[in-house]
Structure 1
Amino acid sequence: MIEYIKGELTEITPAMAVIECNGLGYGINVSLNTYSAIQGKKEVKLYIYESIREDAYILYGFATKQERELFLLLISVSGIGGNTARMILSALTPSELCNVISSGNDKLLKTVKGIGLKTAQRIIVDLKDKISTTDIGTSTTSAPISITANNEIYEEAIAALTMLGFAQAPSQKVVAAILKEEPDAAVEKVIKLALKRL
C-alpha cells in the first residue's frame, strides 16, 4: 500500500497532479483543496488512497491526512464512489464539510453535483458520529494564488470541469458568467462557484 508520494511536481491541473519520484511519474487525482495547497510548489508530498478495481488503478492524493481521512469516510457511505467524494471535497473545504455534516445541513450538501437529497441525508446519518470522534475539522486551508491572466483561468477552469465529468458547453457558459462577475477570482474559486451552479 502507498502511504504517500513525495517528489517533484511536474504537472498540475485543478483535477490532476503529476509527481515525479525516482524517475516515475505518478498521475494523481486531486481535489480543489489539494490543488490550492500544492499549486506553485516544486517539491510536494501527497497522502495517497489507491483505488484498485478490475478495470482501473486510480490514485487519489491529498495535501493533508485530514482530507484523506474525510475522503475515506465519504467513500464508506453506500453509493459514494471516489469521484463523487472528490467532487464533494472540491466544493467544500474539509472544515466546511465537517460543519455541514455535524450540523445536518443536507441542503448545502445537495448543491454538490451528483448529490441528491437522499444521498446527502445518508452521508449526514452515516458520518455524523464518526466526524465528532475525529480531529478532521481542525485542518487549515492555504490562501489561493491569484492569477490575473483571465483567459488562462478560463481555460484551466473549463479543463478541470470537463475532467470532473461536466459537459463543455454549460461549463463554458457558467465560467464566463463567473469571470464577468469576479474578474480577479482565482481558478479554484471559479471552479468552486461553477460546481455550485452546474
Structure 2
Amino acid sequence: MISYVSGKLVFKDPTYVIIDVGGLGYHVKISLQTYSKIKDEEQIRLLTFLHIKEDAHTLYGFKQEEEKRLFLLLIGINGVGPNTGLMILSSLSTEEIEHAILSGDVATIQHVKGIGAKTAQRIILELKDKVGKSGTDTTSSLGFLKSNTKIREEALQALITLGFQKAAAEKNIALVLKKTEGEISLEDLIKASLKTP
C-alpha cells in the first residue's frame, strides 16, 4: 500500500496530477477539493490510495486526511467505486457530504452524476454513524473572468475526463457561466457544472 507520494509537481489538471518522485512520474487522480488546495506548489505531498484491478493500478490522491477518510468510507459502500467516490468529492465539499449524510439529505447526494436514489440512501444509512462534524471549509481565492476561454476549455476537459459527453459538458458550462456574475474560478465552474442537471 502506498500511503503518500511526495515530490515535485510536474503537471496539474483538475482531475489528476503528475508528481516526480526521484525520476519516476506518478499519475495521481484527484478531486476538485484537492485541486483547489494544491494552488501552485512546486513540492507536493498527497495522501494516497492505490486501487488495484486486473487491468489497472490507479493512484488516488488527497491533500487532507479528512478527504481521504471520507473517500475510503464511500468506496466501502456497495455500488460506490473509486471513480464514483472521486466524483462525489468533486461535486460536494467534505463538509457538504457530511452534512447531507448527518441530516439524511438524499437529494443533495443524488445530484452527483451517477448516483441514484438507492445508492444515495445507502450512503446515508451506512455512513450516518461514521462521519464526524469536524472540519473547516476552505474556499478558493483564485478568481478568473468567466469569459476566459482557457478556463472554459480546462473545465470542459475535466468534465469529459469525469465521464460527461462533450455536448452535455459544454451545455452545463454555458448554463453556469450565464448564471454567474463577475468572476468564477476553475474549481467553482467545474463544481457548478457537475451539479447542473
Normalising to structure 1: TM-score of the pair? 0.94
Moved more, 52-61 or 167-176: 167-176
Query: Residue by residue, what CA displacement relative to the aligned partner does 1:96-118 show, whole Å, maximum 9, x if unpaired?
Result: 11111111101111100011111
Structure 2 contact 144–185 (Cα < 8 Å) conserved: yes
Structure 1 contact 102–124 (Cα < 8 Å) conserved: yes
- The answer as to 2:170 corresponding to 1:191 is no
Structure 2: segments with no counterpart, 5+ residues: none
Query: How many angstroms does 1:170 deviate by?
Result: 1.3
| Other-structure match for 2:16 | 16
Distance 2:120 2:100 in 1: 10
Query: Residue by residue, what CA displacement relative to the aligned partner does 1:58-91 show, whole Å, maximum 9, x if unpaired?
Result: 0000000110000000000000000100000001
Percent identity over paired residues: 43
Structure 1 contact 4–47 (Cα < 8 Å) conserved: yes
| Other-structure match for 1:162 | 160
Query: How many angstroms does 1:142 deviate by?
Result: 4.5
Distance 1:186 1:114 in 2: 24
- The answer as to 2:105 corresponding to 1:108 is no
Query: How many angstroms does 1:144 deviate by?
Result: 4.0
Structure 1: segments with no counterpart, 5+ residues: none
Structure 2 contact 104–124 (Cα < 8 Å) conserved: yes
Distance 1:179 1:41 in 2: 28
More helix by share: 1
Distance 1:49 1:10 in 2: 20
Query: How many angstroms does 1:44 deviate by?
Result: 1.1
Query: How many angstroms does 1:185 deviate by?
Result: 0.7
Q: Which amino acid aligns with 2:187?
A: E
SS at match of 2:115: coil
Q: Which amino acid aligns with 2:177?
A: L
| Change beyond 3 A, Cα 1:52–1:142 | same
Structure 2 contact 7–19 (Cα < 8 Å) conserved: yes
CA RMSD of aligned residues (A): 1.4
* Dislocated runs of 4+, deviation >3 Å: none
- The answer as to 2:173 corresponding to 1:181 is no
Query: Residue by residue, what CA displacement relative to the aligned partner does 1:28-50 show, whole Å, maximum 9, x if unpaired?
Result: 00000000000322111100000
